[in-house]
Amino acid sequence: MSKFARPKTKRGLARREAILRAAEEVFGTQGYAAASIAEITRRADTALGTFYIYFPGKEEVFRELVMEMGKLTRAGITEAVQRAGDRLDAERAGLEAFLRFVAARPSLYRIVEEARFVDPEAYRQYFAGFARAYEAQLIEAERAGEVSPGDAEVRAWALMGIAKTLGERFVIWDDAPDIDRVVTEGFAMIRDGIAP
């Protein structure tokens, strides 16, 4: 969230949310450099000055979208893997949840990718947060005998890289992604690489 206080009224919360959704669309389609606050407020159907009630500038709304992608993705994956019987089932469920999220919110995915250049610290925080949680889960799975012994930190980053790359190639770049196919093939590689 930006440094500004969260609105206290339903109307204020709705206006702020409208600005965020418009910013997601503008940044996701035009890129950070081409995006303007004027275009964001036009799409949010709000006055230009109203933007500054909620965000100091375009950098802050961009950063909030990167952090939002992290929260939403983690929440979706956490929900998906809760039903998994073991770590391998969790890997499959998590990969599918991630790819379906990318398909549903491609603009947020593009924003995170652009953050590498626009806001490198937010980009690092986004992936480092994922990696820490992932590493802990892999350590726990190794102790339970659900995955073979190995370096959990390296594995976490490798598994995130697989999901990230598959999301870009088979979801973002495709007009009609076949997520089931990608999950089946991607998971087969993961399963055979980390199965005990």
- Tell me the pTM: 0.83
Mean predicted confidence (pLDDT) in 42-49: 94
Instruction: Report DSSP letters for 67-114, one per residue.
Output: HHHHHHHHHHHHHHHTT-SSHHHHHHHHHHHHHHHHHH-HHHHHHHHH
Domains observed in the chain: 1-56 (1.10.10.60), 60-194 (1.10.357.10)
Model pLDDT for residues 9-37, shown as the tens digit of each residue: 898 889 999 999 999 999 999 999 999 99
Model pLDDT for residues 120-162, shown as the tens digit of each residue: 999 999 999 989 999 999 999 999 999 999 999 999 999 999 9
